[in-house]
Chains A and B, each alone.
Chain A
Amino acid sequence: AQSVTQLGSHVSVSEGALVLLRCNYSSSVPPYLFWYVQYPNQGLQLLLKYTSAATLVKGINGFEAEFKKSETSFHLTKPSAHMSDAAEYFCALAGTALIFGKGTTLSVSS
């Protein structure tokens, strides 16, 4: 069965620090993977996607993610956090529908 696991329901960083949000997946077929961000009382906004092209994927707002098949991971990173990055982040796997992880809330302190 396909599944997505996000490690850490809450991550706190200081402004300017590295952001690392972890995502592991389980899939019997080559996966399509996505990261979405959700701000309070908003829908989901696509940050980036992996579709079996380059393993290092660059997205919006300075985020990027690396697909590692051997580790079944698709971790999201950003070199320098900004206050505006505070939000909830979801990793998702495309199956017959999107399968979401439980989400990670990112807090950024000044």
Chain B
Amino acid sequence: KAGVTQTPRYLIKTRGQQVTLSCSPISGHRSVSWYQQTPGQGLQFLFEYFSETQRNKGNFPGRFSGRQFSNSRSEMNVSTLELGDSALYLCASSFTGTDAAGYTFGSGTRLTVV
């Protein structure tokens, strides 16, 4: 079966711009979570969507937002980009988001802010 698909793989943006990243979960998975990975802070949880509703949110500023569509595909948006937003953004999908089956991750979107 197809895995978790994230697009685009690489992105270069200028400070102050906004960006939208996309994640298509595994078919049948209803939970999509987003994580930011940086060398300094490691893997940090951004937010989780389940059935089009944000269910959990990490400790990130309001510039980071997301949404989920009826087909479970999810997008995250970062407005007013800062240099510190440069990171690998990972999307993970699971059936319920709280099950023990674990999460399947996509290959990530590498965002570079210049």
Contact = CB atoms under 8 A, between A and B. Distances in A.
Interface of A: 32, 34, 36, 41-46, 49, 51-52, 90, 94, 96-103
A97 B43 contact: no
B100 A42 contact: no
B95 interface: no
Contact of A103 (B35, B42, B48, B104): B42
Given A97-B58, A98-B33, A103-B42, A43 B100 contact: no
- Mostly, the B contact residues are strand
Q: Which of A32, A97, A98 has the most CB of B within 10 A?
A: A97
Given A49-B100, A97-B33, A98-B45, A43 B58 contact: no
Q: Which of B6, B35, B110 has the most CB of A within 10 A?
A: B35
Nearest to B6: A43
B66 interface: no
A41 B90 CA distance: 11
A98 B46 CA distance: 11
